Amino acid sequence: MALSLVVLAAGLGSRFGGAKQMALVDGAGQTLIDYSIYDAVRAGFDRIICVVTPAMEAEFHERIGAAIARHADLVYAHQTLDRLPPGYKVPKGRVKPWGTAQAVLCALPWVDGSFATINADDYYGADAYTRMADFLASDLPDHALVGYRLDNTLSANGTVSRGVCEVVDDRLLRITERTALRAVDGGALDETDRFYPGDTPVSMNLWGFRPDACDAFRSLFPAFLDGPDAATREFYLPDVGGSLIPRVRVLPTSSVWKGITYPDDLPTLRAYLAGLVDQGVYPKPLWP
């Protein structure tokens, strides 16, 4: 069975001001997704499932996918509004896709065994992929989530959304989405000015799922659609991951997150990656 990585690349990138999945992050003309998939393939993932919109697939493949396809089994899944369970229709006025958990649902036909998920606009670091690949290759029956230190995931250019984790003995007890975390001395404040220490574990959507999680994705989406305000809400990965507690282990990582939530994040990201290339962590270019 393949060890699959589901890349959530269909987002609109509204805060960044465009298709940030396509933003070039180095002098070799590579994107953040190139670095993510390079790390994943090196860690042992051998099938890459990129979830995109139908309109962006051709450009995505030309600029990113063609090089990756030479080194891994690459497939595309389309996230669209009408990918709904039988008997459901798109509510009037709904224009955005249904969220990250629906994106994974769109990828499940190509999943064969255990799989992990990542955001397309986040840099996770090689250690995170190694920890997840090693865990999924083990005989442990649990699901997993890579836990980052909060202070390793903040942006200097604005607030960020993070899943704040409550963890006991490496087990996830609770995950709470905070949508406006801003950096302060020693940690961060949320939208209610509650303080979180810098070592608080948070999720960056690097989840690892065993095959039986597919049933949870499929059963929870109709329940979401039947819930209140479904026409305006999104079906998120933590909605599914949280339902699998207490079978979720948190894998701590020392990796530092980098991303492009805001346009001003891009120069910092480019400088960070250039430093890693200079140190020999990555070749230039990534793909021969």
Q: Which residue do the tokens 């608080």 mark?
A: 200
DSSP 3-state of 161: strand
Decide: 34 and 286 in contact? Cβ < 8 Å: yes
Lowest mean pLDDT: which of 14-28, 91-105, 150-164? 14-28
Which positions ≥6 away from 229 have C-beta within 8 Å? Answer: none
Question: What average pLDDT does the segment 219-242 reach?
Answer: 93
pLDDT in tens, 12-58: 554 545 566 678 999 899 999 999 999 999 999 999 999 999 988 99
- 274 pLDDT exceeds 80? yes
pLDDT in tens, 183-213: 999 999 999 999 999 999 999 999 999 999 9
pLDDT of residue 252: 97
User: What is the maximum span of the chain, computed from C-alpha positions, in angstroms?
Assistant: 55
pLDDT in tens, 243-257: 999 999 999 999 999
CA proximity to 68, closest of 281, 256, 276, 287: 287
For residue 70 the two structure tokens come to 């030479």
Q: Does domain 4-148+202-278 have CATH number 3.90.550.10?
A: yes
Has this prediction a pTM greater than 0.85?
Answer: yes
Q: Is the dihedral of CA 50, 153, 208, 241 positive or negative?
A: negative
